[in-house]
Amino acid sequence: MEKRTLGFAGPEVPVVCLGGNVDGWTLPEADVFRQLDAALDAGLNFVDTADVYSRWVPGHKGGESERIIGKWFVKTGKRTDVIVATKVGMEMGEGKKGLKAAYIRQAVEDSLERLQTDYIDIYQAHKDDADTPLEETLGAFDELVKQGKVRYIGASNLSGARLAEALETSRKHGFASYITLRPHYNLVERHDYESDLLPVVEKYQVGVIPYFSLAAGFLTGKYRSKEDAEKAARGATVQKYLNDWGFAVVAALDEVANAHGSTPARVALGPVI
């Protein structure tokens, strides 16, 4: 199997990817297909999903996003044109959660089946698992890399201390190391990343893939009141921003966007891309 270089520019230039957590939830399959077609045509070839997407929707079991993406691969034949990242570790029911070696081995096979591919470009720990030794988790990921089922590994939702510990553990044992971090980071959620995680990613040169870069849509300007949020599927997520400070941020985005013939969303993404 050919080994591709993903081309990450380092922590000072976060990677831009198309998030898949809305696939099969607020975005039906046909619309996901159109979105993926348009993204690839525009030069955006990095898709991020997770096994748990979208288990929180009534009637869903998880894996819905991966299945839709897999169907698109089969339909278009464009698997090798796309960098695919997915995640493991969140609750999938029936005791399926965490980062123990046996579960990682099971979960990766499930994700490969849903994605209809024989490899995953970046396999990510979705959140920390304090009950499992890092040596066990990283050893399992290392096995997958050596088997060719996974090309690289990444992490999400780790503290700076745990990220550093994981990176040092990989160095000590010669395991594959996290090359990416997926943190919560945007114009209204800056403190945790900049104060705790940024020093670590700079020291170890870890690529950064922020999630919620538009604060669940709040930074697009579409939520101008509590009533706007109450009518939206993701409205509960933005409730914490519906205050004078949050609206002042949106007003500033409006001002800059109007001055440059742009949109609030494009201006908001500037600091993270």
The domain segmentation of the chain, as residue ranges, is 18-213, 216-273
> Has 223 been annotated as catalytic?
no
Task: Please determine, for residue 266, whether its predicted confidence score (pLDDT) is greater than 60.
Answer: yes
Percent of the chain with pLDDT over 70: 92
What type of residue is 228?
D
- Tens of pLDDT, residue by residue over 149-197, are 999 999 999 999 999 999 999 999 999 999 999 999 999 999 999 999 9
Q: How far is CA 154 from CA 86, 128, 178, in A?
A: 9, 12, 4
18-213: CATH topology: TIM Barrel (3.20.20)
Task: Please determine, for residue 1, whether its predicted confidence score (pLDDT) is greater than 50.
Answer: no
* pLDDT for residue 2: 36
User: What distance in Å separates the CA atoms of residue 115 and residue 148, rounded to the nearest whole number?
Assistant: 16
What is the value of pTM for the model shown?
A: 0.90
- Tens of pLDDT, residue by residue over 77-90, are 999 999 999 999 99
Cβ(51)–Cβ(110) under 8 Å? yes
Cβ(124)–Cβ(88) under 8 Å? yes
Q: How far is CA 252 from CA 186, 241, 247, 260, 265, in A?
A: 15, 14, 9, 13, 12
> Counting beta carbons within 10 angstroms of the beta carbon of residue 93, is it exposed (0 to 12), middle (13 to 18) or buried (19 or more)?
exposed
User: What distance in Å separates the CA atoms of residue 155 and residue 126, rounded to the nearest whole number?
Assistant: 6
- Tens of pLDDT, residue by residue over 88-147, are 999 999 889 999 999 999 999 999 999 999 999 999 999 999 999 999 999 999 999 999
- Annotated catalytic residue, options 53, 152, 178, 185: 53
Phi, psi values for residue 36, rounded to 5°: -65, -40
Mean pLDDT of 15-34: 89
User: What distance in Å separates the CA atoms of residue 191 and residue 187, rounded to the nearest whole number?
Assistant: 10
Task: Please determine, for residue 16, whether its predicted confidence score (pLDDT) is greater than 90.
Answer: no
Q: How far is CA 269 from CA 17, 65, 72, 171, 185, in A?
A: 12, 24, 27, 34, 10
- Tens of pLDDT, residue by residue over 216-253, are 899 999 888 888 877 776 677 888 999 999 999 999 99
* pLDDT for residue 13: 43
* pLDDT for residue 6: 53
* pLDDT for residue 237: 80
